[in-house]
């Protein structure tokens, strides 16, 4: 498995880890209705506030970013593009996505948007290799 393929796996796990932070933190909530409820997970996300609400939004954006990234990696590899370039751009994508999540949780909107563009640029650059 190539490094870029490992990055695809990491990209798939990042949204789960992001909302996981909010779920773990909710276990310490004083009010029962603010704690994560696996029987009604959508109702729980509707009640989120602050950084936990932003974690949910970052999770959703993570799922939205996946199709282009995965397609780009697969198409570039099928086209026999230089694997070292694919790997480098895939790693940059993962770094950008981690920074994006951190900026989102910290409520740094402008920085978050710039990082979002950088991550998207990585996916487009991989796609252009094909």
Residue 28 and residue 36 in contact, taking contact as beta carbons nearer than 8 Å: no
The pTM of this model reads 0.92
pLDDT in tens, 30-85: 666 667 776 777 777 788 889 999 999 999 999 999 999 999 999 999 999 999 99
**Residue from 91, 61, 60 nearest 73 by CA:** 91
Cα 75 to Cα 83: distance, rounded to the nearest angstrom: 12
- For 80-89, give one letter per residue: b (16+ CB within 10 A) or e: ebeeeebbbb
Domain boundaries defined on the chain: 3-19+51-129
Burial-class residue 28 by CB neighbours within 10 Å (0-12, 13-18, 19+).
Answer: exposed
pLDDT in tens, 19-42: 999 888 777 766 666 677 767 777
Cα 85 to Cα 11: distance, rounded to the nearest angstrom: 18
């Amino acid at each position: 498995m190539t490094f870029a393929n490992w990055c695809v796996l990491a990209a798939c796990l990042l949204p789960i880890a992001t909302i996981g932070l909010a779920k773990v933190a909710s276990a310490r909530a004083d009010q029962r209705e603010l704690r994560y409820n696996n029987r009604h997970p959508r109702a729980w996300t509707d009640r989120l506030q602050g950084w936990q609400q932003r974690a949910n939004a970052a999770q959703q954006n993570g799922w939205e970013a996946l199709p282009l990234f995965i397609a780009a990696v697969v198409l570039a590899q099928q086209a026999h593009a230089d694997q070292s370039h694919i790997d480098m751009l895939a790693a940059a994508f993962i770094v950008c996505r981690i920074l994006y999540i951190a900026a989102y949780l910290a409520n740094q909107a402008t920085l978050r948007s710039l990082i979002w563009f950088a991550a998207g640029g990585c996916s487009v650059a991989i796609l252009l290799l094909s």
